[in-house]
A and B are shown apart, each in its own frame.
Chain A
């Protein structure tokens, strides 16, 4: 039998050695890459579409839109998808006042809301731009801004009205959601408890 001079290696031995290594590597690789199930494919598609969706994010505040609790979520989304984050506070100036009328209470609230948004963004390691805008129609201004900024997602907070009022999530929120060209994420603040927990307690 042929032995490669001085090495003690035979061609059959060398070939078998290589075959064993390649067979083990191929087997383990094949085993660890099973085909995706329908559910996994759907999840993958949803994630991909989310990646496409979340290009830049605008968080909208106004006296009517309470987005404080949604800012952290928006910041996390922006960090995960490396998106640009813009927080705006929209103050509606009534027609009974001039457009540049001073509205100290609302302006003070805007400072608080945007400062809190900056803090949340900083905590999440995300860059943020903030802006306070006075306008006659909050909904129209937000939609125009979203178009100008080429936003992919508008994030707004809301709260439940106690009873049906024609616009249970608030007039501005519903107007924006109805006409926006991009995706809109509306977070309705919870009531610090769930139906499930209450039911369980009742059962006990």
Chain B
């Protein structure tokens, strides 16, 4: 007789652990996003961050409600699967997978850019091959470490997150206290306001500063009392990141540099102008800003590049295991072939997933780096990709993947409010319209519609202003859908319809496994009352 049992993930992630899971992913975004947005949106960078930030608040609230209602690993992909069905669940998951693979490359790239502040040999424009091989080496090393099952500890994650929050708070505190000039901010906003195209580009880059909330949802299955903890950690993360993004963008525009900044002709320029057409500076924006903060900058010049590099590397690693986790979850739901579920006999890690997605990350790196490595490729990139390469190339795809998956999550939020009103929601987004749907009292989320409009407009901005995003992004989705249809056909499963799911039974199991026994009782009572009501109505 078999005695094998499915092992449940242990719930060991504490409130700080849950926060630092998200922070190690989202917190690193500003290290990349700040330079890109300043270069694109110039005097309107703070407005770009504000717009993206408001959309991000809506996204955050949606994820908070969904992750606390359905505390399972899988995140956005699971919510969409449950709300909209198999094929849309696949598309959302596939878009998130694109983001996770870009995550691996873009953060490894920026990690080396930050280190180049201390090690000049790593400067991409001066030593492109060294830069390429170091980034490639980091991706390969992360893949290897994950294959053999070595991961940074949660405690280390938490420690780095705490250190980074303290550091960023100090930079902003000293920056605003000693170097912020409100009149300079107003002057820059008036004289350097971008064109509408540039502003749209800036907004679509700004959204990448807020990508990564997915990580908290991914860890929901391992979080203690997820229905209570996740709303707190998500809202905490949203506020922290929003404060940093708005703080940095306003400070950068109103910063009186500690030391004069001169251009190639010896003319004094404003701080934000050092990012225009300068990929090296864009990749190390926070370190460059920290250096210009009076007093604190003297220390920050040394530790911020290292701290930034460590946080970016952790974020890159979160892309490695995030992609394998989501592939595993999609494979379990019959959205991807079962080979993504297979684990290595000796190391007990999903080797196929890890190698496949790290390999994809390496291919993305090659595409991003080619114009630096081979000058002949410049003409090709200038013709087809508007000359974008390096961080721009990666950020284009990152913005596309994020905007696509978030758009689906908003639709799923609205759908789940309508088709699953019985699941207790410990956290519910405010501003709802009470109504009846299929005989049940439901609450229609107004914020869901506002958030969808916001993120969908960013998706449109991305398609309009990102030459790579509008080609490679949809191509990725089309390839994925073809693969999905072939796989489902091969397995003799419905192609466009969903397979049968026992959502009620699943929800009871989810809440019981989450230790949310009060919610489980409430759910069972809701289901019973609903069934009795339906039975009475059918008799009548």
A residues near B (Cβ < 8 Å) are 1, 7-10, 12-14, 16-17, 20-21, 23-24, 27-28, 30-32, 34-35, 37-40, 200, 203-204
Contacts and interface: CB of A to CB of B under 8 A. Distances in A.
12 contacts: A9-B178, A12-B182, A13-B176, A13-B181, A17-B177, A23-B243, A24-B240, A27-B240, A28-B240, A31-B15, A32-B16, A34-B15
Nearest to A13: B180
A34 B225 CA distance: 10
A11 to B, nearest CB: 9
Contacts of A40: 225
A8 B247 CA distance: 19
B80 to A, nearest CB: 27
A28 B236 contact: yes
B294 A16 contact: no
Interface in B467-509: none
Contact of A13 (B182, B229, B236, B515): B182
B176 A1 contact: no
A195 to B, nearest CB: 16
Contacts of B15: 31-32, 34
A35 B19 CA distance: 16
B3 A1 contact: no
B1 interface: yes
A32 B18 CA distance: 10
B437 interface: no
A1 B181 contact: yes
B428 interface: no
The 10 closest A-B pairs by CB, nearest first: A31-B236, A13-B180, A17-B176, A17-B177, A16-B176, A13-B176, A1-B183, A27-B239, A17-B173, A34-B232
A6 to B, nearest CB: 12
Contacts of A35: 228
A20 B173 contact: yes
B180 A10 contact: yes
A7 B295 CA distance: 12
A43 to B, nearest CB: 12
Contact of B19 (A21, A23, A31, A203): A31
B183 A23 contact: no
Nearest to A39: B517
B176 A203 contact: no
B333 interface: no
Interface in B189-247: 225, 228-229, 232-233, 235-236, 239-240, 243, 247
The binding surface of chain B is classed by DSSP as helix
Contact of B3 (A9, A13, A203): A203
B369 to A, nearest CB: 37
Interface residues of B, number: 37
B176 A14 contact: yes
A28 B180 CA distance: 25
B459 interface: no
Given A8-B294, A14-B177, A204 B518 contact: no
A29 to B, nearest CB: 9
Nearest to A16: B176
Contact of A38 (B3, B175, B250, B518): B518
Contacts of A23: 239, 243
Contacts of A204: 1, 3
Contacts of B180: 10, 12-13, 16-17
Given A20-B172, A20-B243, A34-B15, A200 B165 contact: no
B169 A24 contact: yes
B228 A27 contact: no
A34 B228 contact: yes
Nearest to B186: A1
Contacts of A9: 177-178
A5 to B, nearest CB: 14
Nearest to A40: B225
Nearest to B172: A20
Nearest to A3: B181
Contacts of B236: 27-28, 30-31
B298 to A, nearest CB: 15
B235 A17 contact: no
Contacts of A21: 169, 173
Contacts of A14: 176-177
A62 to B, nearest CB: 43
B518 A37 contact: yes
A17 B293 CA distance: 13
A120 to B, nearest CB: 33
Contacts of B176: 13-14, 16-17, 20
Contacts of A27: 236, 239-240, 243
